[in-house]
Structure 1
Amino acid sequence: MQSRTPAGRTGRPRSAAADTAILAATREALVELGWSKLTLGDVATRAGVAKTTLYRRWSGKNELVVDAVAELFDELELPDRGSLAADIEGVVLQFAAILALPEAKSGLMAAVAESIRDDALRERIRASIVDPQKDLVLEGRSRAQARGELPPATDPTEAARTADLIFDVVAGAVVHRTLVSAEPADEEWIRSLTRLLVLGLTSSSPSNSARPASEDAGPGNSARPALEDAGPGNSARLGVPPLGEFEDEAP
């Protein structure tokens, strides 16, 4: 298991079994007690360890809860399902399933709320939860480029910005759907999100983005909506299969 002890701390060698028990006990306490009533003493009792064992690993409740939630996201992976659309759909299904867990809901929302007043906690959330998921975005994009589904990146700065944007769109949509709107991120919704994202990724190009949107909006040509021709019957023109076809792309 990945060590989540803050950098620079020293002491006796850590026990992976104790770490696992402590993080599992933290998630259990989150579900039963909530953030406000959770204490390190209760977690220690549930995990069957001394309270000093927790303090040797974590400086307080905030760090402990973030690491307990982050461990859930350690299970996220991006298996090759044969296409960009299928890869996106597969990893978003995993992400949504994790966010549907009561311990993920309680822990993540509380940690994010606390991080508004705690820069160190915000950075820990970024390093433990956000950055590893952004690595999956980079992996998926590289795979799609190797397949010829996406053009190669020529500008490293723009490539990094695009990767951040992809993550923000996917994570933001799923988090809002599950934690804010309290609506299910089911397979139908995820397929719709996937289609929208793939449409944007595959229909954009440097030549398209460089041309002003009003170029064709002369006196006799009112500007048409950019997606006017992207209806269900015309999706193939943009390199995006109809929504239902995504189901057949998984192995």
Structure 2
Amino acid sequence: MNKPLGRPRNAHIDEAVLTAAAELLTEVGYAEVTMAAIADRAGTSRPAVYRRWPGKAHLVHEATFRDSVTVGVPQTGSFAEDLRELVRRIAELLTTPLARIAVPGLIAEAATDPVLHRRLLERFSATGWRGLDATLAAAVESGELDAEVDTLVMLEMVIGSALAATLTRGPDGLTPDWVDKTARILLNGVRPANREATS
């Protein structure tokens, strides 16, 4: 959310608006949600909503992905376990009931809204997953990870896999077995574990 100017905002209004947006998303879907309907449901004025969010997509983004949802993976001492947990959390994040409804619309609107596009990138970038850089650095130091691995590229692979799987399998298809297999491929590649790389 953008940093407010002037007098402090009323946190109760913020919460009421975010809750109203989430409720309406589940009831009528992304396309039918309007800022006016959200304001009415929240019991506040439309100008009050627009002072906080510039448009529907920005409000839906925040209602769908609260700051507490996106967290870094734990450092368990095993990079394989850390990677599996990253895959699991991203799969969970993208298959919540709200995300199932909101993500297609958000992706479409981000294509023409550079501010929203930047916010989505921040949400799913390395900075959005607090502690991930430290996790990867620890894995490099322990010899479990190639030092040339780029954090953002790895995140793109995990997020891309999850998004593609929701299209091909449906959101319910991102099962623990899918998480295990995806994490294993990301960790080891597609070659047999005992096969030497060929040039």
Q: Which runs of 5+ in 1 are unaligned?
A: 201-225, 239-251
Partner of 2:185: 196
Q: Please, which of 58, 61, 69 is the counterpart of residue 64 of structure 2?
A: 69
Partner of 2:106: 111
Q: Please, which of 161, 166, 174 is the counterpart of residue 173 of structure 1?
A: 161
Residue by residue, what CA displacement relative to the aligned partner does 1:118-160 show, whole Å, maximum 9, x if unpaired?
2232122213444544555423211312433225x4xxxx66x
Partner of 1:163: 151
Highest RCO, 1 vs 2 (Cα 8 Å, sep ≥ 6):
2
- Would the alpha carbon gap of residues 185 and 108 (structure 1) be closer, same or farther in structure 2, given more than 3 Å must change? same
Q: Distance in 1 between matches of 2:66 and 2:167?
A: 19
Contact kept in structure 2, 1:70 and 1:129, CA below 8 Å: no
Contact kept in structure 1, 2:18 and 2:59, CA below 8 Å: yes
- Would the alpha carbon gap of residues 124 and 10 (structure 1) be closer, same or farther in structure 2, given more than 3 Å must change? same
Residue by residue, what CA displacement relative to the aligned partner does 1:12-41 show, whole Å, maximum 9, x if unpaired?
202333323322221221111112211112
Identity across matched positions, percent: 29
Aligned pair count reads 196
Q: Distance in 2 between matches of 1:79 and 1:56?
A: 37
Matching of residue 30 in structure 1 with residue 25 in structure 2: yes
Could you tell me how far 1:72 is from its partner in structure 2?
A: 6.2
Q: Distance in 2 between matches of 1:44 and 1:26?
A: 9
Partner of 1:102: 97
- Would the alpha carbon gap of residues 56 and 37 (structure 1) be closer, same or farther in structure 2, given more than 3 Å must change? same
TM-score (norm 2): 0.83
Aligned alpha-carbon RMSD (Å): 2.7
TM-score (norm 1): 0.68
Aligned pairs for 1:1-251 (under 5 A) are 4-5=1-2, 10-71=5-66, 74-133=69-128, 135-151=130-146, 153=147, 162-179=150-167, 181-182=169-170, 184-200=173-189, 227=191, 230=192, 234=194
- Would the alpha carbon gap of residues 81 and 46 (structure 1) be closer, same or farther in structure 2, given more than 3 Å must change? farther
Q: Distance in 1 between matches of 2:95 and 2:57?
A: 21
Q: Residue type of the partner of 1:61?
A: K
- Would the alpha carbon gap of residues 17 and 88 (structure 1) be closer, same or farther in structure 2, given more than 3 Å must change? farther
Q: Distance in 2 between matches of 1:196 and 1:111?
A: 29
| Larger Rg, first or second structure (1 or 2) | 1
Q: SS at 1:36's partner residue?
A: coil
Q: Residue type of the partner of 1:191?
A: D
